[in-house]
Amino acid sequence: MWKEKVRGKVEELFAKAGVSFGGNADWDIQVKDDRLFEKILSNGSLGLGEAYMNGWFECERFDETVRRLLDKGIEKAAKTWGNFFLYLESVILNRQSKRRAFVIGERHYDLGNDLFELMLDKEMVYSCAYWKNANTLDEAQENKMDLICRKLDLRPGMKVLDIGCGWGGLARHAAKEYGAEVFGISVSKEQLTLAEERSKDLKVKYELMDYRDVKDNFDSILSVGQMEHVGYKNYRTYMEIVYKSLKEKGLFLLHTIGSNESSKATDRWIEKYIFPNSHLPSAAQITKASENLFVLEDLHNFGPDYDKTLMAWYNNFEKGWSQIQNKYGERFRRMWEFYLLSCAGAFRSRKIQLWQFVFSKGAIEEIYQAVR
């Protein structure tokens, strides 16, 4: 009787989003283990993700399932005690303290360069691509890198700080195409090993470093896909460090995933399995942290492009999985699928966004010329 009530409650919730269990639509869920229902009801998104990893259900278009659930706000009906304790921990502790800064590098970005080479574009850019006038992932990522360089008005000889430089794709682009001298920092040893190999003979230098240890001054500063690891308790400190490191009348570009609402905790499944100690900022949190430091010159939202980027990554991952399956195993495959597809669905629902902020330091006399 209890199991029937639990199943009925979950089916009722999902039906509000047009998702059924055992239905014929691509986004319907095919149940392989009845423990799925109690897992969802008791653990929300964490339970759904773990059930997928366990092989307790299948779905042809799980990205569409997630989009439909989020469109109807079903995630709000699955708040659990686990969410509360994660929130409490986020309020009491500084989950993104300097002591914890390298955890995300070790647990995510150091998973293996073979995985990311297989999934990403040729320059290994692990952030949202810019699909305007692009037909392939390679073109869209080159578009994004060029967009950033043009927004910063990079010129030969300029000193540029790249906070969270990844495998160095953007640093190399800025050096090769715009003549910039780039200093890239990352908390991932694996990223920097490959970045250095690919950047020989360029005016690019890399260092394993937390942003709080930056000491030099730069003409321009950029941060792509790194703000998500800073944490709301450190946003003001982050902005103050960028301000101190940026020369007068310099520009700072911040490229980040963002949330429509200000919060203090992240999704439990993402926190546990993909991005530990992560947090999605709201626009209000970012602008509040920049008050009395910077002038906000431009804000560009191209969140729907992240849906397309994630699906391109997913297709690459699926196509190349056989090359790495012996190293990572089946449970990892399902975990990674859930990550890519659920994030694509979240962007498709417009619950989360992709923003590029351009800030200026000091009184720039002319009007900033925004580019797209």
| Catalytic residue positions, numbered | 343
Asked if residue 265 lies in contact with residue 232, where contact means CB atoms within 8 angstroms, the answer is no
Contacts of 154 (CB under 8 A, 6+ apart): 160, 174, 178, 179, 180, 220
| Separation between Cα atoms, residue 104 and residue 95, nearest integer Å | 11
| Separation between Cα atoms, residue 71 and residue 288, nearest integer Å | 28
Q: What is the DSSP letter of 163?
A: E
Asked if residue 171 lies in contact with residue 204, where contact means CB atoms within 8 angstroms, the answer is yes
Q: Buried (b) or exposed (e) across 94-126, using 16+ Cβ within 10 A?
A: ebbeeebbbebbeebbbeebebbbbbbbebbbb
Contacts of 278 (CB under 8 A, 6+ apart): 104, 228, 229, 266, 270, 271
Instruction: Say how far residue 113 (Cα) sits from the centre of its chain.
Output: 18
| Separation between Cα atoms, residue 115 and residue 141, nearest integer Å | 18
Element at 270 (helix H, strand E): none
Three-class DSSP category at 159: strand
Phi then psi dihedrals of residue 203, to 5 deg: -85, 65
- Tell me the CB-side half-sphere exposure of residue 359, using CA atoms within 13 A: 26
